Amino acid sequence: MKASTKLMTSGSISKNIITFAIPIFLGSLFQQLYNAVDSVVVGNFVGKEALAAVTSCGPLIFLLVGLFVGTFVGAGVVISKYFGAGNMEKVKLAIHTSVAFALLSSVILTVAGYFSTPLILKLMGTPDSVYPLSKTYIQIFFLGITSLIMFNSASGILQAMGDSTHPLYFLMTASILNIILDLVFVIGLDMGVAGVALGTVIGQTVSALLSYRILLNTDEAYKVTIKDIKFDKEILKQILQVGVPSGLQNSVISIANVFVQASVNSFGDIAMAGNGAFLRIQGFVFIPITSFALSLTTFTSQNLGALEYDRVKKGAKFGIITAMILSETIGVLLLIFAAPLISLFSQDTEVIAVGVLKSFYSCPFLFFMALSHVMAGVYRGAGKSIVPMAVMFIIWCLFRVSFIVVALSIHRDIRILFAAYPLTWFMSAVVFVIYYFKVDWMGIKKNQLMKY
């Protein structure tokens, strides 16, 4: 199986963005599908406590993983920039530095994730009925975290070189395998949440092995040579300048989400299960958002490397509008069919009621979330990752958490938690739009001055 590189600095802008985004879309769809199957199998064959455990683990996992995954976004931006500029020597250094960072990250995350899980779950106020199940699921997940990290690093390298197709193939393989293993481990072998976690780890391991099989055996510019896997100080500095803010953005969002999850936990396992089931379904709305955000990050960085400013503007406009329309269309369908969709996860009427209530507060405003995430992807591609980090930290973390604390102290109602999300999506969208029109975020003036 041979991968191919693709420059996005010429040709149809919309075609470049869409053809790059479609494989990411399909890969994310399969990934979300197996996440949903995890929850459906657990909710129907193990119980609502197990469903609450599996669906409430996301914020904690992303809190610990998000910082490192964000750094691979930085690596992708650096690789794309040099690839767009035609500097293959720098591309090689950036790729091997990225792999070295992935290996180091894997060790850190395995240890930190496994041993910090009990403490963080206690701090989140996880109910006693759910705690042992959550602990089992998360600790098994982190014992296999190396596979997830290595796959993300390989995906970032391939996508930076314009290849989003092979990561799709590997995600599809992992997803199908995970679904099969869910059925075998949970229904056939009665392993409960441990079976779900083990199936996820095995699927991720297969996708990582397939990814590095290509990188190690190709003759293309993205070839990984084991003896060359090391840190280049100059390249690492560039990767961290873009990647650390992206990672911190992931982390601060996760901190806020962990706090919100703790607040949800305080309403009991029914609220946890209903909210978690809805979030599994809402994940499908996030698919076009992620697809266009990643596509625009690569498109922007490659075209800025080639000094194609007009293409960057047109690409950003097309991607942002398209992502907003797609996400809101899916959101409307989700709002209409919320009850039957949530009933797939649990037949408990109270669980369904919580999920439907959540849909009323989220679905009508999903286009604000799309606008925020996709514009953040554009700014990261331009090397301005501090901007989305700062916006997300101030609005999605500090303001969201403060709003919930104050509002719940006045009136204890789960609807306050649900309302915090659309409110902060709207606020960040406004800030990103103002920044887009008021600031020279592409560095046009700087590069014009450098010509003279």
What is the rounded CA–CA span in Å between residue 133 and residue 55? 11
Residue 416 to residues 55, 277, 403, Cα–Cα distance (Å): 20, 18, 9
- Is the pLDDT reported for residue 312 higher than 80? yes
Q: Which of 61, 49, 51 is nearest to 116 (CA)?
A: 61
Residue 427 is assigned to a structural domain of this protein: yes
Reported confidence tier of residue 53, pLDDT bands at 50, 70, 90: low
C-alpha torsion sign, points 130, 133, 137, 140: positive
- Average pLDDT of the residues in 58-85: 72
Q: Which of 158, 176, 130 is nearest to 26 (CA)?
A: 176
The pLDDT value recorded for residue 371 is: 93
- Give the tokens for residue 180: 């099969």
Range of the domain at 117: 13-443
- Is the pLDDT reported for residue 276 higher than 90? no
The pLDDT value recorded for residue 6 is: 60
More confident residue, 386 or 435: 435
The pLDDT value recorded for residue 56 is: 65
- The burial of 405, by beta-carbon neighbours within 10 Å (0-12 exposed, 13-18 middle, 19 or more buried), is given as exposed
What is the rounded CA–CA span in Å between residue 116 and residue 42? 25
Residue 4 is assigned to a structural domain of this protein: no
Reported confidence tier of residue 57, pLDDT bands at 50, 70, 90: low
The pLDDT value recorded for residue 211 is: 87
pLDDT per residue over 186-230, tens digit each? 788 878 778 888 888 898 899 889 988 888 887 777 788 888 888
What is the rounded CA–CA span in Å between residue 29 and residue 168? 10
Q: How many folded domains does the chain comprise?
A: 1
Residue 190 to residues 196, 199, 301, Cα–Cα distance (Å): 10, 13, 48
Report phi then psi at 219, rounded to 5: -105, 5
The pLDDT value recorded for residue 452 is: 28
What is the rounded CA–CA span in Å between residue 248 and residue 253? 8
Residue 8 is assigned to a structural domain of this protein: no
Residue 61 is assigned to a structural domain of this protein: yes
224 neighbors 156 (Cβ within 8 angstroms): no
Question: Which amino acid would we find at residue 433?
Answer: V
- Give the tokens for residue 41: 């199998």
Reported confidence tier of residue 425, pLDDT bands at 50, 70, 90: very high
How much of the chain exceeds pLDDT 90, in percent?
10
- Is the pLDDT reported for residue 429 higher than 90? yes
Residue 147 is assigned to a structural domain of this protein: yes
Q: Is the pTM of this model over 0.95?
A: no
86 neighbors 310 (Cβ within 8 angstroms): no
DSSP 268-285: -HHHHHHHHHHHHHHHHH
pLDDT per residue over 332-381, tens digit each? 998 899 899 888 877 888 888 988 999 999 999 999 999 998 998 888 88
